[in-house]
Amino acid sequence: MRVLLAALMVAGVTIQPVAAGCATDVQIDQFVTDYMSNSPTAALSANGTIEDALCAQKRIVAALEPHMGPVIGYKAGLTSAPAQERFGASEPVQGVLFRDMMLQDGASVPSDWGARPVFEADLVLVVGAADINNATTPEEVLTHVSTIRPFIELPDLTLAEGEPITPVTLTAIGVAPKLGVLGAEIPVSDPAAMSQALADMTVVLSAADGDVLAEAPGRAVLDHPANAALWLISKGVEFKPGDLISVGSFGPLFPPAKGKGGASVTYEGLPGDPTVSVVFD
């Protein structure tokens, strides 16, 4: 082995081994197979660090893009107190959004869209200018956001029963992206007013029969939804125009059965009190 390494170095080949806590080729291949077949899978980087998990995430994203389309944005997960309490987190986690996971308002999805499917009330900010990367306040973030879109995320926690679901293992799998339903675009014409509306709004998640499952203020996400963008920037994410930013859940995550055939989210206090809905087949 030493002879081989020496020969490679002489030939000018740079050796960049995968970190011990990252995921191996075999683990990546198995994860992608399980992910695409909605089969429970093993946790990755379970005994590693967040840095190990981000290494695994990078490799998984590259392996999933041929199946899910390119990355079109980023997500901050575990941004509300209930979500952090559920998974034992002290801060959010970062993941990605794929092009082909996105569905339009009113879409129908199979109730078994994943190995461990859940749904949540979320919100998407659409980046309008790269200057968002220099923002330091929620209002400055909104200055560089072109539109806001209601969003029901349909993640797949995907890990088999008994496997650890922690901030590290969630990060390793990209914070469980699978599907998501986007509502109509809401233009940001007055960043200051929109910033205030986002902080003051009430987000209501309801089952298909109208029963309210959860209700939370806009400030439930990191004291302001736009703080999710600031947190991602602080972790090294660099946004470009057109990127989507999922700010994270405004409350608990629910299994499909709780939706009684679907779910809707209403954003009381945003212009027009917009709503987005999904049907579970």
pLDDT value for 17: 47
For 185, phi then psi, to 5°, come to -70, 140
Instruction: Give the pTM.
Output: 0.91
Domain membership flag for residue 93: yes
Confidence of residue 8 (pLDDT cuts 50, 70, 90): very low
Domain membership flag for residue 274: yes
Give the C-alpha separation, 39 to 142, whole Å. 39
Percent of the chain with pLDDT over 70: 93
Check pLDDT > 70 for residue 20: no
Give the C-alpha separation, 245 to 132, whole Å. 12
pLDDT value for 7: 44
Q: Please provide the distance, in angstroms rounded to a whole number, between the alpha carbons at the two ends of the chain.
A: 55
Confidence of residue 19 (pLDDT cuts 50, 70, 90): low
pLDDT value for 11: 47
pLDDT value for 2: 45
Domain membership flag for residue 16: no
pLDDT value for 18: 53
Domain membership flag for residue 239: yes
Domain membership flag for residue 193: yes
Give the C-alpha separation, 231 to 197, whole Å. 20
Give the C-alpha separation, 174 to 2, whole Å. 36
CATH number for 173: 3.90.850.10
Check pLDDT > 70 for residue 1: no
Check pLDDT > 90 for residue 261: yes
91: tokens are 């801060």
Domain membership flag for residue 238: yes
Q: Name 269's Cβ contacts closer than 8 Å, sequence gap at least 6.
A: 197, 200, 201, 202, 218
Tell me what percent of the chain is helix, strand and coil, each rounded to the nearest 5.
Answer: 35, 25, 40
What average pLDDT score do residues 127-150 get?
A: 98
Domain membership flag for residue 35: no
Residue 208: give the domain boundaries.
70-280
List of long-range contacts for 143-146, beta carbons under 8 Å, 24+ apart: 143/191, 145/188, 145/191, 145/226, 146/187, 146/188, 146/241
Q: State the total domains in the chain.
A: 1
Helical ranges in the chain per DSSP H: 2-10, 25-36, 50-68, 81-87, 138-143, 167-172, 191-200, 227-234
Check pLDDT > 50 for residue 51: yes
For 101, phi then psi, to 5°, come to -85, -15
**DSSP symbol at 109:** E
Confidence of residue 82 (pLDDT cuts 50, 70, 90): confident
Check pLDDT > 50 for residue 113: yes
For the chain, give the mean pLDDT.
93
pLDDT, tens digit (0-9, with 9 covering 90-100), for 174-218: 999 999 999 999 999 999 999 999 999 999 999 999 999 999 999
Domain membership flag for residue 246: yes
Check pLDDT > 70 for residue 229: yes
Check pLDDT > 90 for residue 45: yes
CA 26 to chain centre: 25
Which of 145, 109, 110, 147 shows the shortest CA–CA distance to 130? 145
Confidence of residue 132 (pLDDT cuts 50, 70, 90): very high
What average pLDDT score do residues 82-101 get?
A: 91
